[in-house]
A = this chain, B = another copy of it.
Amino acid sequence: MTITITAFERSPDGGRGLSRDTRVRWALEEVGQPYEVRLVSFQAMKEPAHLAIHPFGQIPTYEEGGLALFETGAIVFHIAERHAGLLPFDPDARARAISWMFAAVNTVEPPVLELVTVKILEGDKPWAQERLPLVLERIRVRLRQLSARLGDAEWLDGAFSAGDLMMVSVLLRLRPSGLLDEFPELAAYVARGEARPAYQRAYAAQAAVAAAVREGG
């Protein structure tokens, strides 16, 4: 059955790999599953046809036969559960990898998203400049803890897993801020993720969409 995912017709990041479809593309590349992409405009994302698949009007979604899924973490997990390569076979190691998936989206990503709030959503507000250091410090608390746990290990818990895929993807959002450079172990960890051939293919695929948009005007 064909796997179809959705992605931004015009990604707000201009193809720098920060849109969440990159995480799903990466997972599909890691397990060697081909997929098709349906591009969705900002307007179409809020219309009934898309909302029927994604109640919050976002991308990515995942369709395969009669199954329609939303929410990046759930889609990556679904792929990891059905194909070898993203979750350990040992049940305890598998449960720990899933802990890291949830840690990425529920413990590390919320403070990271505050950076979007303070810089973009509230970038024109009088308090933006004064708030920024507070937001950065809350992110640093998490990065310090994550860095302490990772140490000089290659991945968070044994072999590369869907937990690393999600965590690296969340940390990548921090690169423009310079925060990653304060934590050399984490910067190296993210670089190891980006160096994976599957990530490279996923990145190239999403960048090609943005390039086509630019060329097409």
Contacts and interface: CB of A to CB of B under 8 A. Distances in A.
A73 interface: yes
A117 interface: yes
Contact of A122 (B99, B103, B131): B131
A107 B142 CA distance: 19
Nearest to A135: B117
A138 B120 CA distance: 14
Interface residues of A, number: 47
Contacts of A110: 109-110, 113
A71 B102 contact: yes
A95 B69 contact: yes
A117 B127 CA distance: 14
A109 B114 CA distance: 13
A104 B98 CA distance: 16
Contacts of A107: 56, 58, 71
Interface string A189-214: 00000000000000000000000000
A43 interface: no
Contacts of A74: 95, 98-99, 101-103
Contact of A56 (B95, B109, B130, B142): B142
Contact of A70 (B72, B92, B99, B109): B99
A67 interface: yes
Interface in A108-163: 109-110, 113-114, 117, 121-122, 125-127, 130-131, 134, 138, 142, 145-146, 148-149
A145 B73 CA distance: 19
A107 to B, nearest CB: 5
A32 interface: no
Interface of A: 51, 55-58, 66-67, 69-75, 77-78, 92, 95-96, 98-103, 105-107, 109-110, 113-114, 117, 121-122, 125-127, 130-131, 134, 138, 142, 145-146, 148-149
20 contacts: A51-B148, A55-B103, A55-B145, A55-B148, A56-B103, A67-B92, A67-B96, A70-B99, A71-B102, A71-B106, A74-B99, A74-B102, A74-B103, A106-B109, A109-B110, A114-B114, A114-B117, A121-B138, A122-B134, A125-B131
